[in-house]
């Protein structure tokens, strides 16, 4: 099954890349006619990849000015020089977009629990609104986990919805290279125990996560975004500690459509000690359960999906299907993640 899913993921991205390439090749070449009267002609700037403006690869055809590619960034507006990028969609509370953005992101997760799990199978859902504010083109503050979860498993008798913990953080861009379309940022976030115990929240004294995120454009409108970090609790007996890494690869097609592949890796460094057995596993970025006996465990998931942009990059939406490829599955048999982003 692993080999079938891996080949399927690669085939989806390769097929989409081929379709995009064919579409691009079919476009007529655009040339500028030389002035015939010998006078200096006034022409609009032509935005091309690698020209240093960063907007050719991102803004939809015909609306470069509307997207802000030829305008100065306004107060609290998103960074306009990297509008060819999209952010990762899976691991939604820990993977980060390296750009400084002002946006509201609605995220829905539907997760199916393995029947072999000590919870006895079932499913759970999370519904979150993430808010980001670009104070400058390098500094961003955000809230990322505020919302609800609903758990339905045979082992959890208090079925129903409950509040998730609230996560807040800030991120600063260390490298912002518009010419080469390269971004590197570092950040820190804190998860306060403000949620409800019936959805595995509110235990412990809070969690810190430190991370870096980087993005770059390579080849012909191919983007790579990576986030790596470490999450640790203030009370080591209440929650687990782990390293994580997310890799996102997308191909921009027709200026607005992005087929994508993502991989997520988790390595648990220390277990919690609140009585949850190791047969339950941990929450791979959605929850930090404080499960016993998970030290040294590894989990890897893959995801395939797509995103689309409209309204000159002000609206973005997408979905991805995620599944584990390691023998360990923890809480995930498979999962669907969907998002809608409204950006300023």
Distance between CA atoms of residues 56 and 146, nearest Å: 35
Q: Tell me the two tokens of residue 43.
A: 């022409």
30 compared with 280, residue with greater pLDDT = 280
Q: How many CB atoms lie within 10 A of CB 291?
A: 28
Looking at residue 293, what is its pLDDT? 95
**What's the pLDDT score for residue 14?**
52
Name the burial class of residue 37, with classes exposed (0-12), middle (13-18) and buried (19+) by CB atoms within 10 angstroms of its CB: exposed
Most confident of 3-12, 61-70, 172-181: 172-181
pLDDT of residue 29: 45
Q: What share of the chain is helix, strand, coil (3-state, %, to 5)?
A: 10, 40, 50
φ/ψ region of 119 (left if φ > 0, alpha if ψ in -120 to 50, else beta) reads alpha
The predicted structure's pLDDT at residue 10: 52
Residue with tokens 């669907």: 336
- Mean pLDDT check: name the lowest of 47-51, 57-61, 206-210: 47-51
Q: How confident is the model at residue 20 (pLDDT cuts 50, 70, 90)?
A: low
User: Which letter does DSSP use for residue 253 in this model?
Assistant: B
Mean pLDDT of the chain, nearest integer? 84
The DSSP 8-state label assigned to residue 56 in this structure reads T
Q: How do residues 132-148 score in pLDDT, each as one tens digit?
A: 999 999 999 999 998 99
Structure tokens at 15: 């097929």
Report residue 159's pLDDT band, with 50, 70 and 90 as the boundaries: low
Lowest mean pLDDT among 54-63, 103-112, 131-140, 178-187: 54-63
DSSP state of 329: -
pLDDT digits (tens, 9 = 90+) for 231-249: 999 988 899 999 999 999 9
Burial class for 3, CB neighbours closer than 10 Å (0-12, 13-18, 19+): exposed
Residue pLDDT, tens place only, 100-121: 999 999 999 999 999 999 999 9
Domains (range + CATH), the chain: 2-19+53-343 (2.40.160.40)
Per-residue pLDDT, 60: 41
**Do the strands 103-112 and 207-218 form a parallel or antiparallel pair, or are they unpaired?**
unpaired
Measured CA distances, 304 to 35, 88, 234, 309, 323 (Å): 49, 11, 35, 18, 9
Query: What is the mean predicted confidence (pLDDT) over 30-51?
Result: 39
Radius of gyration for the chain, computed over Cα atoms and rounded to the nearest angstrom: 22
Largest CA distance in the chain: 84
């Amino acid at each position: 099954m692993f080999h079938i899913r891996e080949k399927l993921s690669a085939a989806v991205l390769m097929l989409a890349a081929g379709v995009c390439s064919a579409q691009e090749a079919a476009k007529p070449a655009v040339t500028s006619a030389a002035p015939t009267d010998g006078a200096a002609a006034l022409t609009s700037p032509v935005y091309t990849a690698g020209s240093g403006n960063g907007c050719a690869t991102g803004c939809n055809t015909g609306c470069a000015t509307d997207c802000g590619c030829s305008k100065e960034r306004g107060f609290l507006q998103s960074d306009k020089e990297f509008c060819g990028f999209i952010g990762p969609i899976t691991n939604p509370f820990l993977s980060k977009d390296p750009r400084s953005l002002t946006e509201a992101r609605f995220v829905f997760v539907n997760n199916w629990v393995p029947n072999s799990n000590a919870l006895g199978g079932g499913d759970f859902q999370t519904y979150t609104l993430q808010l980001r504010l670009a104070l400058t083109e390098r500094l961003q503050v955000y809230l990322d986990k505020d919302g609800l979860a609903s758990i339905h498993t045979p082992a959890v008798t208090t079925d129903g919805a409950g509040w998730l913990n609230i996560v807040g953080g800030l991120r600063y861009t260390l490298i912002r290279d518009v010419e080469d379309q390269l971004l590197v940022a570092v950040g820190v976030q804190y998860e306060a125990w403000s949620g409800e115990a019936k959805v595995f929240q509110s235990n412990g004294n809070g969690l810190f996560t430190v991370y870096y995120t980087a993005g770059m454009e390579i080849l012909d409108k191919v983007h790579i975004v990576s986030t790596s970090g470490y999450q640790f609790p203030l009370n080591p007996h209440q929650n687990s500690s782990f390293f994580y890494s997310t890799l996102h690869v997308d191909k921009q097609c027709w200026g607005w459509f992005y087929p994508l592949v993502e991989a997520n890796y988790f390595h648990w460094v220390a277990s919690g000690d609140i009585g949850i057995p190791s047969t339950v596993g941990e929450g791979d970025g959605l929850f930090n359960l404080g499960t016993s006996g998970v030290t040294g465990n590894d989990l890897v998931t893959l995801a395939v999906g797509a995103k689309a942009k409209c309204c000159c990059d002000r609206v973005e939406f997408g979905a991805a299907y995620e599944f584990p490829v390691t023998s360990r599955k923890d809480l995930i048999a498979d999962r669907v993640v969907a998002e809608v982003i409204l950006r300023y």
